[in-house]
Structure formats: structure tokens, C-alpha cells
Structure 1
Amino acid sequence: MAPALGLGALLGLLGLLGGPGGATRVLHSLHYLDVAVSEPSPGVPQYTSIGFVDGIPFTRYDSERGRLEPLTQWMKDGVDPEYCDEQTQINH
């Protein structure tokens, strides 16, 4: 299931909400790839979800790690730990 919580915060970080004085808006894409494997091999997670902004992976969850991980430096530096906890629960 694609994460829905925290989207406003993510869009705010990306500058999509605009600024004072009618600042130019920049359009970005947000996609999630969810993969489930019914009979995984050793070392292959049963479930994986990867979040992409403009085609660049920025979060990853897999059933072997059991925790959402930020993949980009801007997510590592600016993400609220509660966001990772919430997204982990959604994907778990």
C-alpha cells in the first residue's frame, strides 16, 4: 500500500506548496513501487516498497529489515523520526 501520511510534509520539502508573492511552482513526481513475492528465495524479501521522487529512490522498506529507511541525504537530514515509524507500520 502506498504511504499517504506525511505527504504534505514531503511536498513542502520539495517546494510544491508555493511561496509568498506567487513564487513559481516546480512540478515533481512521486511514485511508489511495491513488490510482493509469494515464495521468496534466501536473501530476497517477501515484501519491498520503494518511494521515488522524480525517478530517484528516496525511501525503502523491506520485510527482512522491517523498517523504513531514508535513501537520500535530504531525507536523512530532514525527516521526522515519527514519519519513519508511521511508514514502517503502514508497510508492516
Structure 2
Amino acid sequence: MAVLGSRTTDEDLSGVLPALRRPHLDYFRLFYADTALFGSATGLPASLAFFGADHLVFATDAPFGPLPETLAAIDTLDLTEAQRHAVLHGNAERLLRL
């Protein structure tokens, strides 16, 4: 972030950082991550730690990603029942206003 705007030749972005009202990393935490890791449980704890259970949504990349393995990977997370519900469908329902 220290070089933001210094490597762009067609647009002056030098005012972006001073205009932020909070640290730039806080804005990344507003994104939603998904569980589509082809059944791998390796990245899920990091996603959960960074985004939180309220910004993690279930996904599999089906039909290419394995559904049972993705569900098993989610089961390895230390989630409360409410957090598990949120990850599996509650967050998507809220995000998509369903």
C-alpha cells in the first residue's frame, strides 16, 4: 500500500490512502470468502480467522469441486452450530437477500 499510485501511469491514485477513514486492511475484511477449496481443509482456518464466520459462505465449484469433501473440510472447523448454519447457508441468504 505504500506504493499505491506511484506505479500507475494513466491515473493518479495518490489521494486514495489519505482519503481512507480506517486502515486499508479493514476494507478487505468486508469481502466474503468461500469454502471452494476442492475439499482441502488447509485454507479454511485462515479464511475463518481473517474474514470471520459471518463472511464465509459455502461453495464447492460444483460439478468440478467435490461436495462431500468440502462438507467434511467445513466439519474440521471449530464452529458453533450458529456459525455452521451461517457458513452453510445463512450468510448467503443474508448476502443475496433471500
- TM category (shorter chain) comes to under 0.3
Higher strand share: 1
Higher helix share: 2
TM-score by length of 2: 0.24
Q: Which structure has the larger Rg over C-alpha atoms?
A: 2
